[in-house]
Structure 1
């Protein structure tokens, strides 16, 4: 039986590439902006690129915030990707202060623009970087240590509880958050759909973990 996953459509980009990656893995994928469908989903995936405020506006306009929260309260697993990972937190400072979904305690802050010696860093952080983790997690099963994954971002997730920090990458000597998780809610700052076999294994693990 195919694993079922509902990809949340809230008017942002990068939805179809995620859907194609999941379908490649044999999942039955539903792309939906229906509050009822999302509230009743077996698994949820919240992708996205763009600004935090625009993302939350898209969720509010489609009346999806409460259905997402209701689904999580009922134990539905959710994976947020890139902007979708940031929206899981309480708030963001990107272009002003914006409230998030509040599913993982924490905030979204700008990544450093200089290294430890004061030399400027190129922001946004774009390209491949090694994913490091000091704790085991089912979504990392089968991934080689320091697997390279693909990033595009200017802001990072800062969970309030360090136990919710699952993975990180190096950026000019700084540790940038790459993966967060709290219960059945997971967020990855990198793009698994653009990260080759490593990213596909990560998505496969999500489908298996949430079974």
Structure 2
């Protein structure tokens, strides 16, 4: 792959391309100019790698599946129940949890931008922020879900929830059959990020 003289002065990971390479260059420039503290950057990256993300949400779901009292609390006051488990922070201050049942399948979108519950799901996937998803899932949710591989039976209603700056949603998927007696850790392993958005069954 050809490089000009500027590129030859820098060693880059061959996997870094496009936007990732530009982000790294901006980060290096901001650090060099003293605008960003590298230790602060490392702390932020570590937070998103270890303190937040879908594994947190999976732990919430697993507890709801195995603890009826916690499930009742989670559905009545999602913010408090999630905070009780230690998952708090920016973009997770006001949470509502909606439960999938045989009668209803829930799916979450943010039609205006990309409001998303970071403490329990991490950063939003690219498709969640895309204009196509944000516009289409409201108009034709069954078609969009089918593109994710989810076929909703005709007798099951699809409920679309629109996240905002004031409130964010988390889907409580239906517990998988045959998981009775599993530990919370084993239950959490069933749960996916998409399941908690509603674009997967679990």
TM-score category, normalised to shorter length = under 0.3
Which protein is richer in helix relative to its size?
2
Query: TM-score normalised to the size of structure 2?
Result: 0.28
Query: Which of structures 1 and 2 has the bigger CA Rg?
Result: 2
With a CA cutoff of 8 Å and minimum separation of 6, indicate the structure with the bigger relative contact order.
Answer: 2
Q: Hey, which of these two has a bigger chunk of strand by percent?
A: 1
Query: TM-score, length-normalised on structure 1?
Result: 0.27
